[in-house]
Structures are given as structure tokens and as C-alpha cells.
Structure 1
Amino acid sequence: MEFLKIKISVLINYLLFGVLLNSVGTVILQSQRYYKVSASSASILEAFKDITIALVSFLVASFITRIGYKKSMQIGLAAVAVTCVVIPSLKTFIAIKILFAVTGASFALIKISVFGSIGLITKNEKEHISFMNFIESFFMVGILSGYFLFSYFIDDSDASSPRWFQVYYLIGFLYAVALILLTLSPLNESAIKPAADLTANQSFVNMFKLLMLPLVISFIACAFLYVLVEQSIMSWLPSFNNKVLHLPSSFSILMASILAGTTALGRFLAGLVLKKISWYVCLGACLAAAALLVLITMPLAANTVQHNIITWKDIPLVAYVFPLIGFFLAPIYPAINSLVLASLPKNQHAAMSGLIVIFSALGGTLGSLITGNIFQYYGGKEAFYFSLFPISILAIALLFFNKLKKTVVPDLIKD
């Protein structure tokens, strides 16, 4: 295959960032155990990750084509590899915050570059949508792998054990390997090189011109709300399992891996299903099913009593059922991303990807902070009941997005 090596490299890059970025839920739980911080204080880790993603995306998206997609990805991988090697020597809460800030900044470079590169290594819209879902499913495989990696290094019997920091040596090594593979993978970027007379300021202005397109505005609302829901659940599911369902810490993290697994499966199957049925019908049905699952499982969680958890059969049913919400939410994000990118020329994909990353990061931060505060002051069940509110608004936003997709042909902004 013509693009096989770079496709494999891109998939591995995304998988590794899935491992580290979404370890925030695990680290939130560990921070409460190891550093003795409150739930609301621990939730700030999400902000260090997502605000940095948004800020770096805002600063570099308009001119990342000048740097180059491949070079930007190399910078991101190298920065995280070095930081992971340093973290076990520091072992402070501030160091953990710095880790997520560096990871967030690097992911901004990776995500914009990956989303922009898809248009260069796919040949048509159907292939674009399919590969987008495949990439996002690999991200979820990374999240799934991360739960198992971190749970292996966590000591249930001793909350003060620093053993869990050792996982960062392994992750740093994997990032270094990914950097070598990327360096050896060719990527032709001639199609996205900016015009010689286009200044950095003009590139920046062109990114904001995208925000004037009605289709882009409706998309941003959808992306923001989706990530708000996804991250509020994903980041706080380990804590929910531990504090509401009374599971040991390692089991709490492992059971949260079901969410990543069902999301990966949902995105993989969506790549097949969306070729045959209307994307709007599919996503609408998925939202309805997700809301129904919340309404069914939260009363089950309320009836859970504390008891000794020794084997998998001792774990309450709700811990297995609620993570299935990932299967229903899974197709939404990659589908809408692909649809909006396919509406724009390739030389605008980097700018649009920057907007995707910015508003996704803001949605993730807000979702985690709101959920963390509700979790602390009202309880875990109430925190997850909150997800019904953004799910309802997201259904309305998708209605407008679908209407505009049918009736509005976006004006292409010329460089």
C-alpha cells in the first residue's frame, strides 16, 4: 500500500496519546490516595491537560503547515518521551500537573497534524470517514491499554506506595520507539504548503474566518458538547467505581477499561455501519440509547452496598453495564469531525483541525470540572445524572448540524 508506513505510524502515535491523556481519570483517583487532595483539587489535572491543548492549538493551528505535519509530530513525541523519564524522579503533584501540560501541548501538535494528514493519505470521502473512525478506535485501544498498564503498577494495600510512578519509564520508552518509526515514515506534504506571500497573520485570520461559516459553528457546538459528556464520564469513572460502587482501586481502574473497550468497538463498527445508513439516524439513535442507559444504571448504583471484592464475580452488575455507554457515544465524534473536514479544501484542514482541538479541549475541561464538583458536593450518582443535560442539548445541536449539512454549501475561504 502506498501510505502503509505513515498510516501505521499515525495510528501508533494516536494510540500512545490515548494511553497517557486519558490516564487522567486514573491519576485523579491516585492523587486523592497518594497526595490526599480533594476531588475538586484533583479535577484540576483535566484543566492542565485540556487548557494546554486549547492554548497550543490556538497558537499553532494557523501556521502548522509552515512547520510541517511530520516535524510537528516529532516534536510532540520527543517532548513527552523526555517528560515521562523525568517524572518518576520528582513524584510531586506539581510534576504531575506539568506532565499533563506537556502531554496536552504535544497532543495539540499531534492531533492537528494527524487530522490534517488524513486528507493527504486517503483518496476519497468514504475512505476519509473510515480512516477517521479507525484512528479514533486506536485512540480508545490506547485508553484501554492504559488502564491495564496503570492498574498493574498500583498497590491497593498501600496508598502511599510510589510504585505507580514506574509506569512512566515504560511509556517514555514507547514514545521514543514511536518517534523512530515516524522519522522513518515518508509523508508528502506538498499539497498543503501555504502560498509564499501568505503571512502568519493572514493564516491566523483565515482560521477565524472559518468560524463565520454556519456549518462550522454548528459543528463546534456538537464537538464541544460531545467531549464534555465523554470526558466527564471517562475521567470520573474510576472514582465512581471506587467511591460509589466500593471497588478496590485496581479493580476500579480495570473496570473503567470496559468504557474504553466498548468505545473502541463502537467506533470500529461505525466505520462499517456509516457506509450503509444515514449518519444522522445512526447518531440520533446512539444518543437516545446513551441517555436510556444512564436512566437505567444510576438507580442500580444507588442500591449498591459495600462488601468485600475479591474476584470478578463479586463486582456489582452496574460496574459492567454502565461502561456500555461508550459503545453508543463512540460514533459521534469521528463522524462529525470527518463530515466537517470533508466540506473544506485540504489546505484548510489544519486550521479546522485546530478549531476542533480547541473546542474539544474546552469541552473536556468544563465537563471534568463540573463533574468533579458535583461529585464532591452531591455524590457520584448525581454527577453522572448530570450527563443527561448535555446529551439532550447535543441532540438539538446535531439536528441543526444535519440541516445545515443538507442545505448550506460552505463558502471556501481563499488563502
Structure 2
Amino acid sequence: MTGFDRDATGLKIGIFLFVMFFLLGTGIWVGLALMGVAYMGMIGFTSRNPGSSMAITVWTSSSSWTLTSLPLFIWMGEILFRTRLSEDMFKGLAPWLRGLPGGLLHTNVVGCTVFAAVSGSSAATLTTVGKMSIPELRRRGYPEFMIIGTLAGAATLGLMIPPSLTLIVYGVTVKESITALFMAGVLPGLVLAAMFMLYIAGWSIARPDQRPAAEPRLGFVGALKNSVLLIPVILLIVTVIGSMYIGIATATEAAAFGVVGALVLAAVQRSLTWESFSQSLLGATRTSAMIALILMGASFLTLSMGFTGVPRTLAAWIGGMELSPIALIAALTVFYIIIGMFLDGISAVVLTMAIIDPMVRGAGIDMIWFGIFVVVVVEMAQITPPVGFNLFVLQGMTKHDMGYIARTALPMFLIMVVMVGVLVMFPQLATWLPEAMKQAPN
């Protein structure tokens, strides 16, 4: 890339950042701010009609059948939140997690890990688990910054633990086996969840003054009795996951099973009233509308960024450096973090992989391993401003300032950076299961 190209790309990035921060600083809705940035980019750097492009992009992104599962999963979370099921889940988990350093903060990580295997979506994982965990953890006196930060980071597991929409798009783009990619994401996802839990334990040991009062001791028999309260939630999870993995339901149909199952369980427990039903429906509508507007803005911004050529120019610049495999991975880590500040994960993969793919293959890097690497760095982008999607969702749920939420998520971001290093040092984490699957007899 020539000096002129670098200067032009830097100017475009600077203008995007300035307009983004200006609009967000005025207090305008996030989705509208994203659309405004994209509109300015289309006017300033392309000859296309921004109005017609925005209309087509917004309609296409909001009418996708794949996204139908998102409001259904959100509604399921609202039902669990507004009935006794979420409280019962915490009562069932408390006796087993209370002895761990950090106590019930681990429910954020455990809950997100489990639900990630249901939704495949970071946003759905965040909203569902957040609706259940935030009120309960606040009521028990856990520090707000730990509640928000651990939830923001743990919810990114929805991108790695199968089924993952990002892995599906990556597999289609680079023509690799989706099943192999799903298998490759299992161990790294569990390792990352364990690293999050180690962070919580470390905080608890280092800051004993911030720990809330310990949960009351129940003994082994009492813990078993309380574990019975987990059965309805476990049945619901097994129904949703099982219907997808045995092939009788798509993600959207499984989400519908989840809503029906949550309603049935709440009715059996006699915690479902007309008021809780209507409030859960309205709450799901409000949250879904908020996320849909953000998705619309992000889709238009993706289109605008694509037309300006910024992602492709940066990728071509890195490719021209002829770096070693380790240096290439380090450069791509920085590259995807920067790109992730403006694009969602799927868009980042689609816009850059055409150039990155031959570069990575030429360096002799395993494409299954690279897919997991891409997901980890894309997870980072979910909690990095100015367009960290999880940060926006949490802001809508908690009403906290964006800067505060980003600061609480910083330790989780650093853990993901460490995870990249772990993947580089131990590539077998991502490659062992797919290779074992290939060698297994049919």
C-alpha cells in the first residue's frame, strides 16, 4: 500500500471515529448514530445514493429469517426473569458455587456457557442470562462493576461454543467443514470460560473487602434438595439444545420450543400471571426493537465501510509486509480488533477473508485453527468501543454510561488477549477434536 493510500485510509478512519463519537456524545440512539456515521461515509467517500442504499440494507438486515430466533430467545429470558424460574435457578446453583472464591458471580460464566450452546448468538446469550443474573446478584450485594464486566465478557462465548453463526459464515467463506469448526470451538470455549472463572476467583482473593456476605450453609442434603429447583431450567435447556442437535428443529424453531417450555414451566409453578405474561412480552419487544435498530445501523455501517475500501486496504497492507506466521497472527490480532471497533463479527469475516484467506494459507496456518483464532478476536470486538455490540446491549439493560461498561469489561478483554497467546502456544486445543473426528471410524 502506498503512502497516499495509507494517508487516505487514516483520514477515513479518523472521520468515521469523529462522527461516531460526536453523535454518541449528543445522546442520540445508538442505532441512529451508526446510521448517521454510515450516511456521512457514503456521502463523503462514494458516489452511490446513500438513501436507497440505506433503505435496501436496513430492510434486508431486519427481514432475515435467521434473526427470528433472537427475539424468541429474548422472550424466553424475559419469562424466566419475570417468573420464579430465574430465582429458583440461583437457589439451585448457590449451594454448589458458594464455596468457590467469587461465589455466585460464577453463575454469569456458567449460565453464559450453557446458554451459548443454545443460541449461538452473543446478544441472545447476554440478554437471557443478564435478565436472570443481574437482579439476583445485585440483591445479594455483589459489586456492580464485577456483575457487568463478567457478564459482558462471558456472553461473548455465544460466538465460539457451537452452534456459532460466526463459525458458519467463516466456514462457508473459506470452504471448510462447518462440523469440524464446531468441534474445534468446544475446547477453546471451555478453556476461555475457565479463564473467566479464574479471574473471578482472583478478584475475590485479592479484594476480600468487596465480597458480599457468604450464602447460608445448607449441607449436602440441603444442597441436593435445592438442586431439585434446577430441574425445570435443565429440562428447558435440554429441550432447546436437544431439538437442534438431533436435527428436529432449526435455531428459530428451538427458540420457539424454549418460549413454549418456559411458559409451561411457569404455569406449572403458578408463577405465570397475566401481568407477568404481558410484561415479559412487552419487555422482549422493547429489547428486540433496541437490538434490531442497532443491527440495522451496523448493517448500513458495514455497507458504507465496504464501499470506502478501508477493511480491504488495511488487509492488503498487512499482506504486503510478508510477515512470519507468528508476526502475521500478531498483526492480524491488532487488525481485527481495529476492524471490530466498527463492524460486527460476521461482517468483519465477510469483508476481509477474501484477502486474508490466501495470505494465511500461504503462511502454512491451519484454517480450522485460524477460524477459532478469528472468533476469539471477534469476541474482543464485542466489548470494545465505539461499536462493541455487547456494550450497547448492556447499556440498554442497565442504563450505565458506555465508558463505565467498557471499563468493567477491560479485564475480560485482556483475558481474551491471553487466550490468543494460549491458542498460539497450544494449537491442539482447536485442532485435536476435528482430527479425532476425522480418524474415528464411520
Greater relative CO (CA pairs within 8 A, separation 6+): 1
* TM-score between the two structures when normalised by the length of structure 2: 0.30
* TM-score between the two structures when normalised by the length of structure 1: 0.32
